[in-house]
Amino acid sequence: MEAEQTEARRDELERLRAEIAELRASCARLVLAADADCRRIELDLHEGTQQQLVALAVNLQLAGQSVDANPAAAKTLLAEMERDVRQALNDAGRLAERIYPPLLEPSGLAAALRSAAVNAGITASVNVAAGSSYAPEISRTVYVCWLEALESAEGESPVTVSVREEDRAVRFEVEAGARLAAAAGDRLRDRVEALGGRLTVESGAERGSRVHGSLPLSR
């Protein structure tokens, strides 16, 4: 009897050690994922918006130099500058939305999900009750899962999301016709589990990907 109890305690200790190791690994992955997101944003700012602003500064100088000597050339440069300003504004807006979607709080989750699909130029189906409002961390997590699906979408592949409340939890399902990268699935799972939820990812080359998640409404 005593030997069995000792064995049981040893097994329980090993289980706790494994859970602690997994928790530490999950925390490390969350930190690395956050760093990777910051790096992506920095690269987009440097290679996109910053370069556009540099080009605008150069064109502005050239336009100033040719406004009297060559009005036609100056007009052409001004037209290019208008195009570049619009592109820079669009790129900056997409970056800001990736950092924190401005529609999440004032307009609700449904509006933010639809806006992300429109900005990505993807036809999508959003099945979320109008005006649905959840805690910021819940809405943000569903939104991040949606962004991953949109980024993985290819061509005319369908992308859908549905969100509902059930058994004191927010349950959501995201489907995309393209396969979700394994690293992306790990990032999403770590984020959901850090909030006390559960996430499963089904992904294949032919059937695309399906993400099932649940997040508790109260912790």
Q: Which of 59, 77, 99 is the last residue of a domain?
A: 99
Chosen domain end from 99, 118, 153: 99
Same domain for 113 and 195, yes or no, is yes
Same domain, 133 and 188: yes
Which of 38, 64, 99 is at the close of a domain? Answer: 99
- Do 55 and 9 belong together in one domain? yes
One domain for residues 82 and 112: no
On average, the pLDDT of the chain sits at 80
User: Which pLDDT score, from 0 to 100, does residue 48 have?
Assistant: 78
| CATH number for position 183 | 3.30.565.10
- Assess whether pLDDT exceeds 60 at residue 219: no
Please report, for residues 70, 158, 168, 180, the alpha-carbon distance to residue 143 in angstroms, rounded to integers and kept in the order given.
50, 17, 20, 16
DSSP state of 206: T
pLDDT band at 30 (very low <50, low <70, confident <90, very high): low
Domain match, 58 and 127 both: no
Cβ distance 120 to 150 under 8 Å? Answer: yes
Phi, psi of 158 (to 5 degrees): -70, 145
Q: Are residues 153 and 71 in the same domain?
A: no
Q: How many domains does the chain have?
A: 2
pLDDT of residue 172: 94
209 and 110, same domain (yes or no): yes
DSSP character for 129?
Answer: -
**What does the pLDDT read at residue 154?**
63
Range of the domain at 203: 105-216
User: With b meaning 16 or more CB within 10 Å and e meaning fewer, what string describes 165-202?
Assistant: eeeebbbbbbbbbbbbeeebbebbbbbbbeeebebebe
Other CB atoms within a 10 A radius of the CB of residue 90 amount to 12
Q: Can you point out the beta strands (E) in the chain?
A: 124-127, 159-166, 169-176, 198-204, 208-216
pLDDT tens for 146-204 read 988 888 776 567 789 999 998 889 999 998 877 887 778 888 888 898 888 999 988 77
Q: Helices 182-194 and 2-44, interaxial angle, to 10°?
A: 110
Pair (109, 206) in one structural domain: yes
